Amino acid sequence: MKLMLACLVVLGPACSALAAEATYHCADGTLVRAAFSAPAPTGSVHLALAGKRRPITLPQVPSADGGRYAGGDMEFWIKGRMARLTRAGVVTECKTR
């Protein structure tokens, strides 16, 4: 908690610079733009799916490997340049170029 407060109070802009963005191309043709929050206990990913009006924000959830974000009927699980997008039980594999 102290580290997180230090990040917010002392380093503010520098910590936000740690956030990352990536574009994923999925096997089913879906294009996903992902904006990951800076590392923190309450991390999240902001997903913009091509053709969808509203972006989706998913909270980070525990993962044994890679980064996993989930909420409702959607999950976005990343490891390296690969990702798996699950929507309403339908899974598609994605990767960055």
pLDDT of residue 85: 98
Residue located via tokens 């610079």: 17
Q: Who contacts 97 (Cβ-Cβ below 8 Å, separation ≥6)?
A: 23, 25
Task: Write out the E strands in 2-96.
Answer: 20-26, 31-36, 44-49, 56-61, 67-71, 74-79, 82-87, 90-96
Task: Tell me the per-residue pLDDT of 40-84, one tens digit each, with 9 for 90 and over.
Answer: 778 999 999 998 889 999 999 998 899 999 999 999 999 999 999
Assigned CATH for 19-96 = 2.40.128.200
- pLDDT for 3 beyond 70: no
pLDDT of residue 48: 97
pLDDT of residue 97: 83
Domain extents for the chain?
Answer: 19-96
Share of the chain above pLDDT 70, in %: 80
pTM of this structure: 0.77
pLDDT of residue 92: 98
Sign of dihedral through CA atoms 70, 25, 49, 55?
positive
